[in-house]
Amino acid sequence: MSLDATLRLLTKASGLTAADLAAAIPRAGVATVKSWLAGEKMPGGDQLAALARAFGVPAGALLSELATTLDPARTQGEHDLLAAYRALTTRQQGALLEVARGMAGHKARRKR
The domain spans of the chain are 3-69, 76-111
Q: Single out the residue of 64, 62, 67, 37 nearest to residue 52, CA to CA.
A: 62
Phi, psi of 101 (to 5 degrees): -65, -40
pLDDT tens by residue, the chain, 112 residues: 788 888 998 899 899 999 999 999 988 899 999 999 999 998 988 998 999 999 888 888 787 655 555 555 667 788 778 778 888 899 999 999 999 999 988 665 555 5
Angle at 90 between CA 84 and CA 91, to 5 degrees: 105
Distance, in Å, from the CA atom of 28 to the CA atom of 55, rounded to the nearest integer, reads 16
Total-model pTM: 0.57
Please check whether the domain covering 3-69 is classified as CATH 1.10.260.40: yes
- CA 5 to chain centroid: 7
Buried b / exposed e over 44-56, threshold 16 CB at 10 Å, is eeebbebbbebbe
pLDDT of the residue at 71: 56
